[in-house]
Amino acid sequence: MNEAELTAGQPDQHDITDYNDPDAPWNQAWDGEGGIANWNADVITEFRENSGAVGGAYAGGDLILLTTTGAKSGKRHTTPLGPLYRDDTMYVSSFIEDKYPAWWYNIKANPQVTVELRDKTYQATGAVLEGADYREFAAWVLANNPLMADFQSKVDRPVPLVVLTLDSEC
């Protein structure tokens, strides 16, 4: 499946090229009571009720639900993420400033994941990029994604990059 097929029917969204852009979903005000955990639960519910379409800060954007198995707990964890593409290759990253996200560690420990994309669910394999593979892919990402390049310029660690391969539809 190529990028055009994956994004077909999705309206254009505001191009965010600066990590500090106030319109970026990660810079939206929190309610002070639920934080990101409750926000994720609401997004997951809305995603599943509307075949992948969500409103609010992510309206019109392409989202996936990535379900991983906890590296330590063994429990299943679902996280909404915005997929990125290099030709036909789907990849994900994170804008967490002080550490890599839990899903990154989970995929490193157990690469078998589930990806929900619009109204379809796939068994998939996640590959945490490292070494020469990481350097080559990161060079391309940073040259072609101004938002990732801006974020990388603000953090001391390499941005996490995980390639997702959709294996079979469930």
For residues 133 and 141, give the distance between their C-alpha atoms in angstroms, rounded to a whole number: 12
Provide the pLDDT for residue 2. 44
Provide the pLDDT for residue 9. 40
> What residue spans of the chain are helical by DSSP H?
3-7, 35-49, 102-109, 131-144, 146-152
Q: Between these two residues, 69 and 17, which has the higher pLDDT value?
A: 69
pLDDT band, residue 25 (cuts 50/70/90): low
Edge-to-edge order in the sheet of strand 162-169: 76-81, 64-69, 112-117, 120-128, 162-169, 89-92, 84-86
Beta strands in the chain (DSSP E): 64-69, 76-81, 84-86, 89-92, 112-117, 120-128, 162-169
Provide the pLDDT for residue 61. 84
With a pLDDT cut of 90, the percent of the chain lying above it is 66
Q: Between these two residues, 120 and 37, which has the higher pLDDT value?
A: 120
CB neighbours of residue 142 within 10 Å: 16
Mean pLDDT of the chain: 84
Provide the pLDDT for residue 39. 64
With a pLDDT cut of 70, the percent of the chain lying above it is 77
- Quick one: tokens of 106? 């989970």
Q: Is the pLDDT of residue 38 over 70?
A: no
Is the separation of the CB atoms in 103 and 40 below 8 Å? no
- Quick one: tokens of 4? 């055009």
Q: What is the pTM for the complete model shown?
A: 0.79
Nearest alpha-carbon partner for 93 in 128, 68, 136: 128
Q: Is the pLDDT of residue 41 over 90?
A: no
What number is the average pLDDT over the span 57-63?
84
Instruction: Report CA Rg, the chain.
Output: 15
Tens of pLDDT, residues 108-154: 999 999 999 999 999 999 999 999 999 999 999 999 999 999 999 99
pLDDT band, residue 18 (cuts 50/70/90): low
